[in-house]
Chains A and B, each alone.
Chain A
Amino acid sequence: MTRSLLPYILVAQRLGIAFVTLIIVSFAVFFATAMLPGDVAEILLGQAATPEAVAGLREAMGLNEPALSRFVHWLLGLAQGDMGTSYVNNMEVAELIGGRLLNSLRLAGVVTLVSVPVALTLGICAAMWRGSIFDRLVSLLTISVVSVPEFMVATLAVLVFAVWLGWLPALSYGVELDSWSAMLRAYAMPVISLSLVVSAQMIRMSRAAVIETINTPYVEMALLKGASLSRMVLRHALPNALGPIANAVALSLSYLVGGVIIVETIFNYPGVAKLMVDAVSTRDLPLIQSCAMIFCVSYLSLITLADLIAILSNPRLR
């Protein structure tokens, strides 16, 4: 009986740890923000920040309350589902984030759909035919892609496909998305640039994980029993490699929500990464905190999901 409960206990533990991490991150972000020079009133007034103007605006914005108590208020509000109001433009944070989070998720989703199947196929095949020309070619390509910074890939792609050839629009947002082909054209370049960056890591990790299991005695046994190469890898080796692969995929994908600032900038795509940068540069505490929470939640859920897959795919834990 206790044995069958084990996975549930493990899962509950993971979820509990994720929640505690979230709280710790939110405090860390708060203290980091508090250490930045200048506050939102000074930044809003910019070159017009005379002492009396700053004092007046602080008073009007309710910034005279100590930062810690404003933060605790925000945290309590969040517990009830209220992300607060932006200091800078008085809009609801939820409203500011909403559309842009959707944009980010849409981009991340498309990139995931494109990159994960391609990366896993390439990684597993490379492991299957280890040492072959195919394996070496894949390794060479992944290493080159990892070494080239994404702003270079993105800028070159724009120069070639938008400026010289004129096939694709240089911007991904603001173009009319009235048909499927228009949407494909608009998404093509950001998706390709991002896919290149995230797949390289996944290919190398999945290749390594599969090779490691192939080297174990039980897989060798399967081979001796006469199983074909594909059966040996897919039926016998892969289930045991699933845990590490899931972790590698989660780590790569977690980058897609908060870390795509360069691609967002070059293709003028309004996602949450750019929003976070805006928030930090204007010291807009509720917005910074909310963005940080979103990045943290997306990261944690991916990692937790990978852990769950590892736990559930492991018969010893099931």
Chain B
Amino acid sequence: MTKTPTNWTSRDDAAVEHMIRRGASRRELLKMLMASGVAVAAGGTLLSHATAAVAATPTTGGTLKAAGWSSSTADTLDPAKATLSTDYVRCCAYYNRLTFLGGDGNVQMELADSIESDDAQTWTIKLKPGVQFHDGKTLSADDVVYSMNRHLDPAVGSKANSLAKQMAEISKVDDLTVKIVLAEPNADLPTILSLHHFMIVADGTTDFTTANGTGAFKSEVFEPGVRSIGVRNDNYFKPQGAYLDSFEFFAIPDNNARVNALLSGDIQLAAAVNPRSLRMVEGNDAVRTSISTAGNYTNLNIRLDVAPGEQMDFVEGMKSLINREAIQKSVLRGLAEIGNDQPVSSANRYHNPNLAPRDFDPEKAKFHFEKAGLLGVEIPMVASDAAGSSVDMATVVQQAGAEIGMNLTVDRVPSDGYWSNYWLKSPVHFGNINPRPTPDILFSLLYASDAPWNESHYKSEKFDKMMIEARGALDEEKRTAMYWEMQEMVANEAGTIIPAYISNVDAVTSKLGGLEANPLGGMMGYAFAEYVWLDA
């Protein structure tokens, strides 16, 4: 490794690896490295290093200890109620979904053999035969019908209730066939079914003190707020079952404690490491990072229905005043992609790459603020630790404003109660949105005129109409074109400023293989347990 540049860190290794997985060719990679000043000879060495990591051969056996960042007495084994990363990790290990999203963002079949529809409204789902639950029961259409119907029962408290509401009829055709009729056409159903909440449980299950699923692991220990242990299911339906004998998952909420536990070898995976502690990880050969950008973002919302946002000039001014590059580089320490004010990130196959982010242009901002007569008027921006990094972002905006004579203040409020008391309510405030797998979910949740979380109170009839049309379109090309146009509308007309899509960084021991980025979130879309292995 004499040819490695001196400032080369494991983070760069991870970035190269990430690009290879995304399908970048060797030529593209070398071009990228040349652009960052790495000599061609050294570049070759680095590439072989990263490709080796991608192509490693799995080994079987061993126990993995992994730590997430939050866990509480609200931990659950009920997929419908899953809330936190710990719940998702457990659900992915113990249950299966009908479909799942691969690393490239495309839908793949899991318990389903096929999902088909002619009109995007009536869907026929064929199940794989011979799949068994942990208790020995064979998977049948009844289990799927029961699992789907649970989301419609308010007593269950399903987190996916609003997504499930569109399923007007869920019925069994024969033992291995289920028919789902939607209230309105929706071509995204296969993607929606890949969400963690739509894991399949056995017909009639009401007791979730243990997990009776079809997944690659069986639940052995489950102590809410303490830990979970899963052991390999030798009767798994996929020919290549889990590599690990067992895994243990718990939470270490304190970031430093989590990193320390990884460095001391007590755990092998530390999820969602704060960029601040990356230097500790990078200086150590025994650990490496895995970076994925799934589309989580912290955004600045300006309500368009009250002052000062009812003047479009204020919104335009703010869009030019926000220094995206400074936010990406200094607030998020480079672990982010610059955003272009619309919620569909580049991890999504419908992302519009032609929509350029606005430039940082204080003069233009000043022009708009002057036009709106707001220069010098005190305008508070509500920020909180509840919306990650928002306080730092607000400070960046505030300082840029001060230089052109704009009196923006940072109103920092407590995390507890932020979502019910300030979010969606204050005229200028920050929000934080988790990744969603389809543009339709994002748009209907956040931008439709009747959207429950219409952060900027954006209203457009044209947008609403396009959204419904695109939802039912089975023609991919037409659909993509519509989604691209809608992204432009949101970026130009709505009052939500999305400066960057935040990357998730997991730190793992160098012995851990098989961990890949996934559009559903960090830790391989929370499904790592089934796919990773530990080198001896």
Contact = CB atoms under 8 A, between A and B. Distances in A.
B254 interface: yes
B58 to A, nearest CB: 25
Contacts, number: 136
A278 interface: yes
Given A57-B154, A162-B260, A270 B226 contact: yes
Main secondary structure of the interface of A (DSSP, over half): helix
Contact of B162 (A48, A268, A275): A48
A279 to B, nearest CB: 7
B263 interface: yes
Interface string A17-50: 0000000000000000000111001111111101
A170 B264 contact: yes
Q: Is the interface of B mostly helix, strand, loop or mixed?
A: loop
A6 B416 CA distance: 51
A67 interface: no
A233 to B, nearest CB: 43
Nearest to A175: B266
Contacts of A204: none
Contacts of A267: 257
B434 A60 contact: no
B76, B254, B264 pick with most chain A CB within 10 angstroms = B264
B422 to A, nearest CB: 11
Given A86-B73, A155-B256, A37 B155 contact: no
Given A163-B264, A265-B257, A56 B155 contact: yes
Given A171-B261, A267-B257, A284-B73, A48 B226 contact: no
B227 interface: yes
B257 A158 contact: yes
A50 to B, nearest CB: 6
A86 B253 CA distance: 22
A56 B154 contact: yes
A279 B155 contact: no
Given A89-B224, A266-B254, A169 B155 contact: no
Contacts of B452: 50
Interface string B62-77: 0001010000111110
A311 B74 CA distance: 46
Given A59-B155, A278-B225, A174 B74 contact: no
B161 interface: yes
B150 to A, nearest CB: 12
B252 interface: yes
A272 to B, nearest CB: 11
Given A170-B257, A282-B72, A53 B161 contact: yes
B417 A38 contact: yes
Interface string B126-149: 000000000000000000000000
Interface of B: 65, 67, 72-76, 81, 83, 153-162, 209, 223-227, 248, 250-254, 256-257, 260-261, 263-267, 416-417, 419-421, 434, 452-453
14 contacts: A45-B161, A47-B453, A50-B452, A53-B162, A55-B154, A86-B73, A88-B73, A88-B74, A163-B263, A170-B266, A174-B266, A267-B257, A270-B223, A281-B72
Given A38-B417, A170-B263, A170-B264, 17 more contacts: A38-B420, A45-B161, A48-B160, A50-B161, A53-B158, A56-B157, A155-B256, A155-B260, A170-B261, A171-B261, A173-B227, A174-B65, A174-B250, A266-B256, A267-B257, A278-B74, A279-B73
List the 8 shortest-distance A-B pairs measured between CB atoms, nearest first. Answer: A56-B154, A60-B155, A278-B72, A162-B264, A37-B417, A170-B261, A48-B159, A170-B264
